[in-house]
Amino acid sequence: MTESLTMMKPLIEAIHSTPTQAVIYVAGAASYAVGWLTSVPGASNTVLEALVPYSRMSMIQLLGKIPAQFASQQTSEDMALVAYNRALKISKPGSPVLGVGVTGALATNRSKLGDHRFHLSTRTSDRLWNSTVTLSKGTRTREEEEILSSQYVLQAIANASKVPIDFAFRTNESDFSADTERIFSEDEELEQLLDGEIAFKVYASSSGNFTVTQASTSDRRVVLPGSFNPLHEGHLQLMEIAINVLGDGYPCFELSVINADKPPLTISQIKERVKQFEKVGKTVIVSTQPFYYKKAELFPGSAFVVGVDTVVRLINPKYYDGSYERMVEALLKCKSTGCVFVVGGRNVEGVFKVLEDIDIPEILKDMFIPIPADKFRMDISSTEIRRTLGM
């Protein structure tokens, strides 16, 4: 074990030096990979979460279904997708994320009729890589099979993180590896989003690709949701003021492709609206969640930047089947994720109002942070801008 870790250490150090952050799920194989990653300094740069869903019920709860086979390529692919979506939610803003899924059937304390093999999948925003490795039966101990499968996993993480180091595996001639790779186009990623397969898609502030930002070292996203039809100077100013009020944060605009009162956006419409952010060098997240209690689940610990008109709707029982209790319950769920609302003044039914003008339930008041009217007010809406431009 010590010899194996010493051998893998340069590869692990290279992984930790990249901005990629990963969620790793392993079951039945590659158990040493997590220990090796976390034993080398810098692990917090890479490892967001690592789980071993070893029991049947643990795997079922992780996947949200009963897999056809627990040790199979499809199951490792499903694990990687769940891990990728988890990584999206808990990663540091601006970091590329990786989901890793491993399942297998290795040597055990009884004779096995089937092959000794493991299945490995890695998922990034635009890539799915699968590998099934069948091991030469009876030539290794269980520990040796664990070491080899763990080495495979670390090399797969390195490849997904774009580490230019290849590790030489100690394989036997009778070992067999079957690998496949799928690259997703932008349209395919957006189709996966619309189908509910991925939680959201991030277009970072450099031509839609992930970059390491120097704008903020904060782990908190500052999210300004909207339809952005069109994006205008008021949105940009509001975000800037919100960051100043909070003191820090990673600015993200959020475009929900589903609106409770309108038809869903098409892929072409999504791409057109995203172009607006690319032109001004801003990060935009594309999601399918129109409701704030769901946004809070997607972006835990975030600060949502909203107008006071949105706050009026948020605390109106009308939008919770007329139930005051349901309204409070929904917003307390947002609060439990660590989310807050940064509120700018807006016209409400023809009257300019600020947060202090709204009667917010006492139990929810600490969720709302006002933007002083002398720092920002936006009296014009996107609807009015479209009317002015004849759109």
CATH number, domain of 275, equals: 3.40.50.620
Q: Which of 290, 8, 291, 301 lies closest to 151, judged by CA?
A: 8
Domain containing residue 139: CATH number: 3.90.950.20
Same domain, 133 and 268: no
Q: Which of 309, 315, 311 lies closest to 346, judged by CA?
A: 309
Tell me the residue length of the chain: 391
d(CA 223, CA 75): 34
SS3 239: helix
d(CA 134, CA 140): 12
Residue with tokens 């996107």: 382
Same domain, 110 and 245: no
Looking at the structure of the chain, the number of domains it has is 2
Averaged pLDDT, groups of 10, the chain, 391 residues long: 85 97 97 96 97 97 97 98 98 95 89 85 98 92 95 96 87 89 98 97 67 54 96 93 95 92 91 96 96 94 95 95 97 96 91 95 97 79 50 49
Quote the pTM value: 0.92
Same domain, 173 and 228: no
Same domain, 337 and 224: yes
**Domain limit, last residue, from 131, 159, 183:** 183
Handedness of CA 376, 377, 382, 386 (dihedral sign): negative
- The boundaries of the domain holding residue 341 are 186-389
Same domain, 235 and 262: yes
Same domain, 349 and 219: yes
Same domain, 318 and 374: yes
CA-based R_g, the chain, Å: 24
**Domain limit, last residue, from 121, 152, 183:** 183
Q: What are phi and psi of 282, to 5 degrees?
A: -120, 150
Tokens of 349: 């039914």
Q: Which of 164, 129, 168 lies closest to 151, judged by CA?
A: 168
- Residue burial 158-196, b: 16+ Cβ < 10 Å; e: rest: bbbbebeeeeeeeeeeebeeeeeeeebebeebbeebbee
Same domain, 166 and 208: no
Same domain, 33 and 149: yes
**Domain limit, last residue, from 131, 163, 183:** 183
Output the pLDDT for position 376. 82
